[in-house]
Amino acid sequence: MATSKPESCRIGVISDTHGLVRPEALKALRGSDLIIHAGDVGKPEVLERLQWLAPVTAVRGNVDRGAWADELPEERTVEAGGARIHVVHNLKAMASEPAGCRVVISGHSHRPSIQRRDGVIYLNPGSAGPRRFTLPVAVATIHLDGRGLRPRLVELAV
């Protein structure tokens, strides 16, 4: 019986843009098959700009207000490259541990991080918007293929 190979996919991950679309972020996300925005978008034009690069899925963050933001869910689960990925803006506000997900993406803290717990990758791309304190300005990528799932933080030179 033949087994199918996992789909190859590159996911761009961005969060906490607060209305700012940096050219450096667009460059880092170029070549993505999907872009995930983990909230605090700031204004709808951010999502429109990102859609020039790839399809975008987003969740609402605590600064997102207005009719456009009301259309964004607070949490969502997406399938990409054969993996289930759960997206929420504030990890502490997550309703429950999403069953069957290999990755949980969050934002809110502005601190880029990759952690592994109980076989699940918890990825926070950090903030791609205005710099906060001395934290880096960053995005992330996830590569999924036959070799597995490989997240990577990308600090932007701004």
Query: Is 1 a domain residue?
Result: no
Is residue 70 assigned to a domain?
Answer: yes
Total domains present in the chain: 1
Q: What backbone phi and psi angles, to 5 degrees, belong to 25?
A: -70, -45
Q: What is the pLDDT of residues 17-28, one digit of tens each?
A: 999 999 999 999
| 79-96 tens-digit pLDDT | 998 899 999 999 999 988
What pLDDT digit, counting tens, does each position of 50-70 carry? 999 999 999 999 999 999 999
Place of tokens 């590159």: 10
Q: Is 115 domain-assigned?
A: yes
Choose the weakest-confidence range: 1-10, 82-91, 101-110.
1-10
Give the C-alpha separation, 122 to 133, whole Å: 23
Domain assignment of residue 41, given as a range: 9-155
User: Is the residue at 2 inside a domain?
Assistant: no
Q: Would you give the DSSP letter of residue 6?
A: P
Confirm whether 3 is domain-assigned. Answer: no
In a domain? residue 59 = yes
> Does 146 fall in a domain?
yes
Dihedral (CA of 10, 117, 132, 73) sign: positive
* Beta carbons of 122 and 133 less than 8 angstroms apart: no
Asked whether residue 158 carries a pLDDT value surpassing 90, the answer given is no
Query: Is residue 99 domain-resident?
Result: yes
Q: Tell me the chain's radius of gyration from C-alpha atoms.
A: 15
pTM for this model (two decimals): 0.94
Q: What is the CATH number of the domain that holds 85?
A: 3.60.21.10
Is 2 a residue whose pLDDT tops 80? no
